[in-house]
Amino acid sequence: MAGEGIMMDTTRSETVDSFARAPLPKRFCNLDRLLYAMKARGLDGIVATAPWNVFYLTGFNAIAHKSDEPRPYAVILSRHMPEHPVLVVADYYLATFLKQPTWVEDVRPFRAVMMPLDLPAQRGDIDRFIPLDGAAAPWIAHARAAYAFDMATAVRRALKDLRLEHGRVGFDDMGFGFRLEVEGLEIADGYDPLMFARAVKTRTELALLQRATALNEAAIRHTIAAWDKGATWRDLNKAYARAVTELGGFVRDPGAMVWGHPRGGDPALTLATGLEDDVVEHGSHVMFDCHGTIDLYCWDGGKTWVVEGAPQGAAKRFADATAKVAQMLLGAMRPGARISELQAKGREIYQREGVPDPASAVIFFHGLGLSHMDIEQRTTDGKPNVDWMLEEAMVVPVHLLYPGGEHERFWLEEVVVIGNDGGKPLFSWGFGPLTREG
C-alpha cells in the first residue's frame, strides 16, 4: 500500500509472455486516500462515470465504448458505507465480472441499447446476458433481483439505498448528476478527489506501470532494429505500433510517437501529426516519446536515438549534460519537493555543465497512471494546484529536452517512482543515447 517501502523488480524480458494480461486483483485502488479526500472536501459520496475512474474503483474495463458516448456504467460510493459501493452497468456488460472479478458485490444491471423498443421490457431480459456456467454465482442472483429498465432509475435507487439522496455528492461528470434530477441532492465536483486518490499508487498500480514501461522500452528497441536506409517517419511509427501490438499493448490514433522532428537546423518544438513522411536520415536525432497503454495503465517516454551513430561535437556536450541533469534530479525527487524547485535545479545543472543557453532547456513533470496527469487541479482550499508537491509512491516522468537542429537536439524522459531516498527509474537503459547495438 502507499506509504510502505517500494520494492522494484528491475529485471527485463522482451518476450510476449512477459506482458500477457490476466485478471487483476479485485481491488487495487487507493481507497483510504479517496475517503480522506472526500472527507476533506465535505463529500458524503462520490459517483464516477468516467471510464478510467470506473476501472480504477472496480477493475471494470468496458470494451466497445468510446469516451464521448453516453456512459452505460456508474460507481456509487458512500463515505459513510465505504465497504458497500454499488456498480450500475448496462445489462450486456454483466458477464464481464465472471472473467474480471471485482470487490464490488452489489452489481446492478439495467436494460440497455441492445434490448428492443418494440417489445415490452421484462425482468427476464437480463437472462440473455448470463452464461450458463456463471448463473449460479451468488452475486448474479442479486443482480437479477436488482435489474432496472433504465440507468437513471438504477442510480437513483442506489443513491437512496446508500442514504445519499439528500447528501453532498461529488460527480466526475457533474452534468450526469444534474440530469438525474434528484431533489435534495447537492451536486459537487468529484474530479479532484478522484485525482487526489489516483496520484499515489498502490503496489498493484506500481507493478502495472512498471510492466507498461518495460513494454514501451522493448517496443522502442524493436523499432530501432527494424529501421533500414530509406525508412520514413511513417515507417517508424508503423514499426513502433506493430511492436507494441505484438507485445500486447495498445496505441491510439493518430500515433504513439509524440514529438515532431523539424529538418535541418530548425530548433522549433513541434508535436507529431501522423502525417509526417520524410526520410529518417543517417545521423538524425530521433526523440522517442511514446504513449500507449496495457490494462489501461499508461506508459510514457523514451530517449534519443542517433540513427546509425552517436552524438557528435556540441551534441555530445548536450547529451552528457542532459544525463547529468537526470541523475541529479532523481536524487532530488523526494516527497515534499515542488515542481518549480526541481525545474530550477535542473536548469542550474545545465548551466554548470556549460551548455550555451540553459534557459532554452525544456524541463517539465506530470503524474502518470491511468492518465498523463493523475494530479488534482485544485486543492481542498480551492487554489490551483500548479506548483504541486511530490509524495511517496507517486509516478512522475521527468522530461528533459535541450533543443537544436536534427543533429543536435537531445531528449530524455525517465519514468520515476517517488521514494523517501529519491526517485527510482523504471526504464532499465540509463540516461545515454540509444544506438542500434545497445
pLDDT tens for 393-423 read 999 999 999 999 999 999 999 999 999 999 9
More confident residue, 66 or 174: 174
Q: Is 393 left (phi over 0), alpha (psi -120 to 50) or beta?
A: left
pLDDT digits (tens, 9 = 90+) for 267-280: 999 999 999 999 99
- Dist CA 146 CA 53 (whole Å): 23
Report phi then psi at 396, rounded to 5. Answer: -135, 110
**Of 164, 198, 232, which residue is a domain's last?**
198
Per-residue pLDDT at 9: 41
Q: Is position 298 within any domain?
A: yes
Band the pLDDT of 65: cuts 50, 70, 90.
confident
Q: Is position 19 within any domain?
A: no
Band the pLDDT of 436: cuts 50, 70, 90.
low
Residues 182 and 205 in one domain: no
Residues 207 and 184 in one domain: no
Instruction: Indicate the number of domains in the chain.
Output: 2
Residues 185 and 325 in one domain: no
What beta strand segments (E) does 201-325 contain? 285-287, 292-294, 297-299, 302-306
Q: Is position 407 within any domain?
A: yes
Per-residue pLDDT at 435: 82
**Of 198, 229, 244, which residue is a domain's last?**
198
More confident residue, 24 or 10: 24
pLDDT digits (tens, 9 = 90+) for 78-134: 999 999 999 999 999 999 999 999 999 999 999 999 999 999 999 999 999 999 999
Report phi then psi at 217, rounded to 5. Answer: -60, -45
Residues 73 and 180 in one domain: yes
Q: Is 178 left (phi over 0), alpha (psi -120 to 50) or beta?
A: alpha
**Of 198, 223, 256, which residue is a domain's last?**
198
pLDDT reading at 438 higher than 80: no
Residues 317 and 374 in one domain: yes
Q: Which amino acid is at 189?
A: D
Q: Is position 56 within any domain?
A: yes
Report phi then psi at 46, rounded to 5. Answer: -145, 145
Q: Is position 255 within any domain?
A: yes
Q: Which amino acid is at 291?
A: H
Residues 246 and 394 in one domain: yes
pLDDT reading at 148 higher than 90: yes
Residues 85 and 189 in one domain: yes
What's the DSSP call for residue 191? H
Please count the other Cβ atoms lying within 10 Å of the Cβ belonging to residue 18: 15
Q: For the chain, what percent of residues have pLDDT higher than 90?
A: 94
Per-residue pLDDT at 4: 37
Is 434:303 a contact under the CB 8 Å cutoff? yes
**Average pLDDT for residues 230-236, to the nearest whole number?**
96
Q: Which three cell numbers stand for residue 378?
A: 485544485
Residues 258 and 178 in one domain: no
Residues 301 and 160 in one domain: no
Residues 177 and 250 in one domain: no
pLDDT digits (tens, 9 = 90+) for 367-382: 999 999 999 999 999 9
pLDDT digits (tens, 9 = 90+) for 239-276: 999 999 999 999 999 999 999 999 999 999 999 999 99
| Cis status of the peptide bond prior to 120, with omega within 30 of 0 | no
100 forms beta bridges with: none
Q: Which three cell numbers stand for residue 49?
A: 462515470
Residues 116 and 157 in one domain: yes
**Average pLDDT for residues 158-167, to the nearest whole number?**
98
**pTM, 2 dp:** 0.94
- What average pLDDT does the structure give for the chain? 95
Range of the domain at 283: 201-425
pLDDT reading at 1 higher than 80: no
Per-residue pLDDT at 328: 98
| Domain CATH code at residue 206 | 3.90.230.10
Q: Is position 4 within any domain?
A: no
Residues 327 and 234 in one domain: yes
